[in-house]
Amino acid sequence: MRRLRVDVVRELSHERDAYIQGLVWWNNQLFESTGREGESTLRRLDPATGSVLQRVDIPDQYFGEGLALVDQRLIMLTWRAQRAFVYDRDTFALQDTFRYQGEGWGLCFDGDRLIMSDGTDRLEFRDPVTFAPLGEQSVRMEGRPVYELNELECVGGEVYANVWEEDYIVRIDPATGQVTEHIDVTGLLQGPDLIGSEVLNGIAFDPEAETFYITGKWWPKMFEVRFVE
């Protein structure tokens, strides 16, 4: 397992009210899902500034969670309601809903299937059209289970995952469940920016620049970074 750190390319602003759950990059745009009952939203962000360009509120009874883009559809999980909402990528119009068992935490699309976390040490694989379960894989780091896997980002057949209340990101081989990289993010947010901020969460990958965007719950900043030795 390789141990890496982050090299900051630049900082941009992030709305303080965003209790971020999911982050997706597409076509020089960022999509963000946020959580908490009565506060959950789906947002389109300007990656140059971090400003919100478009948003839709989720019904108050739902706690928004992870987000994935499948073609024209943005699929957003909820925490304990066992329901996923499907929105049009351009208009944010609600198109469909899916039901599932258990909790919803993180979600990403690897080009063939959806990969989902539920707060345990398992990754669940799902059909991107029907959301039907296709299997699962337990995650291990140096032989030990990695619990509370949170936000996910699928990149090149691998899965990058936040771990709840940890200042690191793990890279997972979904075929074996083995953690192949441990990325230390300690100290990214500093000084006054820490006041009112919560845990690290949110990973999006820009394939053209080969950089990642990372942030956290109620963080006032988002960071464009590279993972380096």
Per-residue pLDDT of the chain (229 residues; tens, 9 = 90+): 999 999 999 999 999 999 999 999 999 999 999 999 999 999 999 999 999 999 999 999 999 999 999 999 999 999 999 999 999 999 999 999 999 999 999 999 999 999 999 999 999 999 999 999 999 999 999 999 999 999 999 999 999 999 999 999 999 999 999 999 999 999 999 889 988 999 999 999 999 999 999 999 999 999 999 999 9
Q: Of 123, 146, 150, which Cα lies nearest the Cα of 135? A: 123
Q: What angle do CA 130, 41, 91 make, to 5 degrees?
A: 65
Rounded CA-CA distance 156/29 in Å is: 19
Phi, psi (5° rounding) for residue 104?
-110, 130
DSSP state of 121: S
Name the architecture of domain 2-228.
7 Propeller (2.130)
Structure tokens at 51: 């400003």
Q: Which amino acid is at 177?
A: G
Rounded CA-CA distance 220/209 in Å is: 23
pLDDT of residue 14: 96
pLDDT of residue 160: 99
To the nearest 10°, report the CA torsion of 214, 216, 220, 221.
-10
pLDDT of residue 211: 99
pLDDT of residue 122: 98
Q: Say how many CA atoms lie within 13 Å of 73 toward its Cβ.
A: 19
pLDDT of residue 216: 97
pLDDT of residue 71: 97
Strands 140-141 and 107-109: unpaired
Q: Which residues pair with 193 in a beta bridge?
A: none
pLDDT of residue 94: 98
Q: Of 174, 175, 180, which Cα lies nearest the Cα of 142? A: 180
